[in-house]
A and B are shown apart, each in its own frame.
Chain A
């Protein structure tokens, strides 16, 4: 059972710019970890490093204290990742996209029966609203078997109705996954997160509440 993801001392530079100097984190199954930081602080970089699509200069990644190679994250499906930008084929209908993610009828039904999905199944992905698209993408990725999930700005540009649905879904989802969540809509993140951390000057700091975000310079 994979229930603890650990990252120690991740470092990453782009040329002479050092984005991540010393970033460590632990993520357990059953918790949502909020990640904050100003634009350019390396949040997305960190998520891509964890997902294995960006090579770190130095990294020690472990699951249940067992070292794993970042290159194995995708093929072994250790971690799911919701990127900032939409990734679904825009010309396909929702009802044709769902079987791309799930072979079995029962798994497909779980998506087809999810709130809001039934009314959009005949629509082409490119015509969905931002909220519908984001919610659908989250549902698709979250229902895959990854024990850990990285969500990059799931609340951005989302209408309130879908935002609430996403929050409700995350509360249910964390029972079976560990979730790392980053978004500038900090109140939404604080509402669902169990712990938080701030990336500042390439280093990760724990932040328990809103006041810590102020103290660490993320908020005024």
Chain B
């Protein structure tokens, strides 16, 4: 389960980081840009990470299936953790906008 979380989240972080860097010129403040990136990560990051995992490591799902984890279970857990973390850090940074 942890390896799935790590792999999906690495894809998610990479994509969201690239999004954050690409959108930096149109942001009014650094903190605002980071918060937007964190919100994108919290809401869409897991979905993007799952797409990355599906594209590069799809076959590994069979390892998790054999261990009793369905795709829905894996994705929902990762989404819940990343949503919570993304929102937490976004709220933490919100006073600096």
B68 to chain A, nearest CB (A): 5
Question: Are B70 and A87 touching (Cβ within 8 A)?
Answer: no
Query: Does B60 sit at the interface, judged by CB under 8 A?
Result: yes
Question: Are B59 and A74 touching (Cβ within 8 A)?
Answer: no
Query: Does A86 sit at the interface, judged by CB under 8 A?
Result: yes
A75's contact among B3, B57, B63, B70, by CB below 8 Å, is which? B70
- Closest A residue to B73 by beta carbon equals A75
Interface hits, A71-109 → B, CB 8 Å: 71, 74-77, 80-81, 83, 85-89, 92, 100-101
Q: Size band of the A side of the interface? A: 20 to 34
Q: Which residues in B have their C-beta under 8 angstroms from that of A74?
A: 65, 68-70
Query: Does A117 sit at the interface, judged by CB under 8 A?
Result: no
B24 to chain A, nearest CB (A): 31
Q: Which residues in A have their C-beta under 8 angstroms from that of B61?
A: 87
Q: Which residues in B have their C-beta under 8 angstroms from that of A51?
A: 65
Question: Are B67 and A87 touching (Cβ within 8 A)?
Answer: no
A88 to B57, CA, bound (A): 9
Q: Which residues in B have their C-beta under 8 angstroms from that of A80?
A: 66
| Main secondary structure on B side of the interface with A | helix
A101 and B59 contact, Cβ closer than 8 Å, known pairs A75-B73, A89-B3: no
A88 to B60, CA, bound (A): 6
- Closest A residue to B70 by beta carbon equals A74
B62's contact among A75, A87, A100, A144, by CB below 8 Å, is which? A87
A144 and B67 contact, Cβ closer than 8 Å, known pairs A75-B73, A89-B3, A100-B3: yes
| Main secondary structure on A side of the interface with B | loop
- Closest B residue to A144 by beta carbon equals B66
A85 to B62, CA, bound (A): 10
Q: Which residues in B have their C-beta under 8 angstroms from that of A75?
A: 68-70, 73
B63's contact among A71, A76, A77, A88, by CB below 8 Å, is which? A88
Q: Which residues in A have their C-beta under 8 angstroms from that of B59?
A: 83, 85-87
A75 to B76, CA, bound (A): 15
Interface hits, B48-83 → A, CB 8 Å: 57, 59-63, 65-70, 73
B69 to chain A, nearest CB (A): 7
Question: Are B65 and A101 touching (Cβ within 8 A)?
Answer: no
Q: Which residues in A have their C-beta under 8 angstroms from that of B57?
A: 89
In the complex, 12 of the A-B residue pairs with CB atoms within 8 angstroms, ordered by the A residue number, are A53-B65, A74-B69, A76-B68, A81-B66, A85-B59, A88-B60, A89-B57, A92-B3, A100-B63, A101-B63, A101-B67, A144-B67
Query: Which A residues form the contact surface with B (CB < 8 A)?
Result: 51, 53, 71, 74-77, 80-81, 83, 85-89, 92, 100-101, 140-141, 144, 146
Q: A83-B59, A83-B62 are in contact. List 9 more A-B contacts (CB 8 A).
A: A51-B65, A74-B69, A75-B68, A87-B61, A87-B62, A87-B63, A89-B63, A92-B3, A144-B66
